[in-house]
Amino acid sequence: MTPPADDAAVPWWTGAVIYQVYPRSFADANGDGIGDLPGLLDRLDHLAGADASLGVDAVWLSPIYPSPLADFGYDIADFTGVASEFGTMADLDRLVAACHARGLRLMLDLVPCHTSIEHPWFVESRSSRGSARRNWYTWADPGPDGGPPSNWRAAFGGPAWELDPASGQYYLHSFYPEQPDLNWRNPEVAAAIGEVMRFWFERGIDGFRVDAITHAIKDPMLRDNPPAGPPVPPFPRDRTGLDPVWSDDQPGMTDVVRFLRSVADEYPGRLLMGEAYLPVERLARYIGAGAGEGFQRSFDFELCLIEWGAEPFRRTIERAELFTPPGAEPTWALSNHDLSRHATRFGERRSRLAALLLLAMRGTICLYAGEEIGMVDAPLSRTPLHDRFGRDRQRTPMQWEASPTGGFTEGEPWLPLVDPARRNVADQSRDPGSLLNHYRRLLALRRSSSALRRGALSLVAGLPADLLAWIRTSDGERVLIVANMGDAATTVDLSRIGSDGEVMAGTGSRDGALALGHLQLDPLEGLLLRL
């Protein structure tokens, strides 16, 4: 299956906007209350190819593979299958073809660092100490005190080691005990994951988001991690209370990333986008624009961790510009299936400005399904309904219509919807001033303006405290992004940049030319001005 034609000089992911779908929650076609591939197929008009589409460049699907759901899809029992609740391989093939027919790329989630305990590889590995696949996972004898081999902790709490009573050895799991870590020091593991990638590339998949990649390699001596030092803002103190110097982001990681990239490079136009929760200076070695060098992209999660404010945003952008390797670009998102939605985190009244800032950034942008209508976290009780780590709140079904099940399903939704009568795609489509139409306008501008899509970025220095501004430049086109992130109206003199700017878009309804020498900005107002 051939992907859409590419502009040979510039890869499709340059400045691209990728839309993340959590498949269980997007659209349910068969009424079982769980989103599925036919449901997504029916809703592709929302994304691309129709008049009122958002006009994104690609869709990334969180895992669609068979899974016992200990970690809701991220514990995979078959890397090359489609879970029956999502449909069939034929549905997937249809989805690839339908996306490509609209010029939309389709990405999947690659989870290379662990499997489900039910994966046949682990079942075989666990069967005996002498099993041919024993060394596909990390097995170790108890420590000197008879307990776990090291003090390593799992990301979701508890020890990172689980005793297998039958063999008397422990196996390693960076996440839940149901997710044993694959042993990437074993070349057979690398070869097997390479085959998984080829399987999907052959079916026409345009790339992968690569899950939890920093966990691939561990210290072979299994040395104890030291206690966590002071946190490095904006990253919180490591949840485990330890500094994972021997179990995360190890020196050998570069080889793993290069191997994955070399497989992607066998196929033209395929993107690898890493997931690594690291400060951007440590992220840099995971990224490489050139063939075989690293992932073309890797999320910069600092934007998801900072407080709202001009200074934290400015510092985040400045750090990304400084540390992102030449030829590559930052990768930004404000929300995803693991984190509190930004309409909740930053506050709903800031959503319009947040969208304007995000879609004017330099780099590849990921939108999380529902953010375009301002979806917020569900106010579920603290007892999780499904996810033991409490992430149900940001995974509730997409709200298509005002009905109680939001047009998501005709059955009983697997998670309750939050507020479909208040926010939904159908109503917001009809309202020219809605957040959804604001996203559509911003996306259309990003597609039509080469400065916004792929221009260089330079921050404007010396602004009053609540103001943030930068300029994007490409092929003689210059766009000024200026935002008042504070709650008081303000006036700024930007005459050093130019005499005036033509409004391309904004959080409000201003248009025409504005004098930069006396620019008045309402609270939480943002503007894109053509210079």
Cβ burial of 338 (10 Å; 0-12, 13-18, 19+) is middle
Sign of CA dihedral 237, 240, 243, 249: negative
The β-bridge partners of 331 are 299, 364
Main-chain phi, psi angles of 503, to 5 degrees: -65, 120
DSSP letter at 62 equals: P
The residue within the footprint of ligand GLC, chosen from 13, 19, 74, 161 (CB under 6 A), is 74
Q: Beta strand 526-530 with 477-484: parallel, antiparallel or unpaired?
A: antiparallel
Question: Is-contact 136 188, C-beta < 8 A?
Answer: yes
Q: Shortest gap between Cβ of 326 and ligand GLC (angstroms)?
A: 28
Copy the structure tokens of residue 472. 């994007």
Copy the structure tokens of residue 501. 């700017």
Report the alpha-carbon distance of residue 178 to residue 181 in Å, rounded: 10
Q: Smaller CB distance to ligand GLC: residue 111 or 418?
A: 111
The residue within the footprint of ligand GLC, chosen from 212, 359, 418, 460 (CB under 6 A), is 212
Copy the structure tokens of residue 146. 């008879």
The residue within the footprint of ligand GLC, chosen from 57, 178, 211, 371 (CB under 6 A), is 211
Q: Smaller CB distance to ligand GLC: residue 189 or 212?
A: 212
DSSP letter at 227 equals: B
Q: Shortest gap between Cβ of 240 and ligand GLC (angstroms)?
A: 15
Sign of CA dihedral 505, 508, 513, 519: negative
Q: Smaller CB distance to ligand GLC: residue 210 or 353?
A: 210
The residue within the footprint of ligand GLC, chosen from 60, 175, 208, 259 (CB under 6 A), is 175
Q: Smaller CB distance to ligand GLC: residue 71 or 249?
A: 71
Sequence letter at residue 194: G
Q: Shortest gap between Cβ of 65 and ligand GLC (angstroms)?
A: 12
Largest CA distance in the chain: 77
Q: Is 301 in the site for ligand GLC (CB under 6 A)?
A: no
Q: Smaller CB distance to ligand GLC: residue 91 or 275?
A: 275
Q: Which helix (H) or strand (E) holds 17?
A: strand 17-21
Q: Is 111 in the site for ligand GLC (CB under 6 A)?
A: yes
Q: Smaller CB distance to ligand GLC: residue 179 or 364?
A: 179
Q: Smaller CB distance to ligand GLC: residue 124 or 338?
A: 338
Q: Is 139 in the site for ligand GLC (CB under 6 A)?
A: no
487 is catalytic: no
Q: Shortest gap between Cβ of 286 and ligand GLC (angstroms)?
A: 15
Site for ligand GLC in 275-294 (CB under 6 A): 275
Q: Is 248 in the site for ligand GLC (CB under 6 A)?
A: no
Contacts of 124 (CB under 8 A, 6+ apart): 131, 132, 133
Select which of 188, 266, 281, 487 is catalytic.
266
Q: Is 71 in the site for ligand GLC (CB under 6 A)?
A: yes
Select which of 71, 109, 206, 211 is catalytic.
211
Burial 57-72 (b: 16+ CB within 10 A, else e): bbbbbbbbbbbebbbb
Question: Is-contact 307 284, C-beta < 8 A?
Answer: no
Number of residues near ligand GLC (by CB under 6 A): 9
Q: Smaller CB distance to ligand GLC: residue 154 or 242?
A: 154
Closest to 37 in 3D by CA, of 46, 45, 29: 29
Nearest to ligand GLC by Cβ — which residue? 74
Q: Is 338 in the site for ligand GLC (CB under 6 A)?
A: yes
Copy the structure tokens of residue 505. 């878009």
Q: Is 178 in the site for ligand GLC (CB under 6 A)?
A: no
Task: Give whole-number Cα distances, 253 to 172, 213, 215, 450, in Å.
Answer: 18, 8, 9, 35
Task: Give whole-number Cα distances, 74 to 62, 156, 249, in Å.
Answer: 8, 13, 20
Q: Shortest gap between Cβ of 116 and ligand GLC (angstroms)?
A: 10
Q: Shortest gap between Cβ of 269 and ligand GLC (angstroms)?
A: 25
Burial 224-260 (b: 16+ CB within 10 A, else e): ebeeeeeeeebeeebebebebebbbbbeebeebbebb
The β-bridge partners of 332 are 365
Q: Smaller CB distance to ligand GLC: residue 91 or 211?
A: 211
DSSP letter at 36 equals: -
124 is catalytic: no
Query: Which residues have a catalytic role annotated?
Result: 211, 266
Name the site residues for ligand GLC (rule: CB under 6 A): 71, 74, 111, 175, 211-212, 275, 337-338
